[in-house]
Amino acid sequence: MTGVKVRVGHIGLGYWGPMLLRNVVAAPEATVVAVADQDADRLAEVMSQMPRVMALRDHHEVIARPDVDAVVIATPAATHASMVEEALRAGKHVLVEKPLAMRVSDAERLVDLAAAHRRVLMVGHTFLYNAAVVRLKEYVDGGELGRVLYVCSQRLNLGRVRSDVNALWNFAPHDISILLYLLRQTPVEVVARGFAYLQDNVEDVVFMTLVFPDNVCAHVHISWLDPHKVRRMQVVGSRKMAVYDDLSPDARIVLYDRGVDRIPTADSPRDFKNFADFQLRLRSGDVSIPTFPFPEPLRVECQHFIDCICTGRTPLTDGRHGLAVVKVLAAAERSMQRGGAPTTIEE
């Protein structure tokens, strides 16, 4: 489709939808031809800013339009699977907000459908298009941190309390997607405890532990019932440590040359392995704050979607990545239902 505008239909104008729409409109190779939402006031606001765009109340009409090449879906999570399936069967490329689906079987079916129809299926895991997360991955892949030992992540806030999904399905897709991206592995064990304080059976606070191969551990604390807004991830390596703070205006990544070194004793062999063969010594070196361009992640994400349609490339956050995230979420949900009992992804 090189040189041809990608004609986009947009579905959903709730909290996140208008921001997605704004960034799709900004992509030079895209043109928005239709927008759908059940709220007439939201549609009227869009029409006041984009008078040439067709405003519709029924999302089926957007998907069925022959002048729509791709569909952007920003609707409640429970509707994702059915809408994505309808769009793929209609021959449309799809960018859908996270999560891809609420059930593993649905996510698997969508991945197969996208492959069968040769259409781009991309999930809006926006933080993988965040320049700070990309820099963090460069440190991990390049060996700057040494061997990753463990990761600790916090995603906290006071507000945007949901009733359609719990905090796990609302917040954790971000952290899980980042962890899968950084570590390039699937956890072998998932443990989660959730607590509902504001609404029955809707967990507001979740503590989740993921165990990856080679004993790499990741702890994730998520909550929409917390006095502070926090978006922080700490990656502790055998050589250095890194802290990613998404809310920091000028220090999104801080690199610490700190750790614990194993120092051989005088009579230890060169390939010392036992506790008696070495001493532990704390090391505290320099602290550095790298500078790098920081384009709006959502702008990068939307442009990437359009680029993949035009070039045939596989998106960074394609359907398979979305499926992997859903599998971890489903395992965490099972663990929560069992009072924190360990579960596996393929159970």
Question: Model confidence over 242-259: pLDDT tens digits?
Answer: 999 999 999 999 999 988
pLDDT at 268 > cutoff 90 = no
pLDDT at 194 > cutoff 80 = yes
Provide the b/e sequence for 204-239 (b: ≥16 CB within 10 Å): bbbbbbbbbeeebbbbbbbbbbbeeebbbbbbbbee
Residue 281 banded pLDDT, cuts 50, 70, 90: confident
Residues 333 and 304 in one domain: no
Residues 65 and 100 in one domain: yes
Structure tokens at 30: 């895209």
In a domain, 248, yes or no: yes
In a domain, 343, yes or no: no
Which structural domain range is residue 98 located in? 6-127+296-313
Residues 242 and 288 in one domain: yes
pLDDT at 275 > cutoff 60 = no
Residues 191 and 109 in one domain: no
Residues 102 and 54 in one domain: yes
Which pLDDT score, from 0 to 100, does residue 155 have? 98
In CATH, what number is assigned to the domain containing residue 141?
Answer: 3.30.360.10
Residues 137 and 18 in one domain: no
Residues 107 and 168 in one domain: no
In CATH, what number is assigned to the domain containing residue 109?
Answer: 3.40.50.720
In a domain, 333, yes or no: yes
**pTM here?**
0.93
Residue 276 banded pLDDT, cuts 50, 70, 90: low
In a domain, 346, yes or no: no
In a domain, 323, yes or no: no
Which pLDDT score, from 0 to 100, does residue 65 have? 97
Compute the residue count for the chain: 347
Residues 115 and 147 in one domain: no
Which pLDDT score, from 0 to 100, does residue 126 have? 98
Which pLDDT score, from 0 to 100, does residue 274 have? 56
Q: Tell which residue, 176, 168, 227, 215, has the closest CA to residue 192.
A: 168
Q: What is the mean pLDDT of residues 6-23?
A: 96
Higher-pLDDT residue of 159, 68: 68
Which pLDDT score, from 0 to 100, does residue 280 have? 76
Residues 72 and 220 in one domain: no
In a domain, 1, yes or no: no
- Domain total in the chain: 2
Residues 238 and 222 in one domain: yes
Residues 111 and 188 in one domain: no
Q: How far apart are CA 94 and CA 85, in angstroms?
A: 9
Q: What is the mean pLDDT of residues 131-158?
A: 98
In a domain, 152, yes or no: yes
> Measured between alpha carbons, how far apart are the two ends of the chain, in Å?
41
Residues 16 and 91 in one domain: yes
Which of 38-52, 101-115, 200-214 bottoms out in mean pLDDT, i.e. has the lowest? 38-52
Q: Tell which residue, 256, 180, 247, has the closest CA to residue 218.
A: 180
In a domain, 266, yes or no: yes
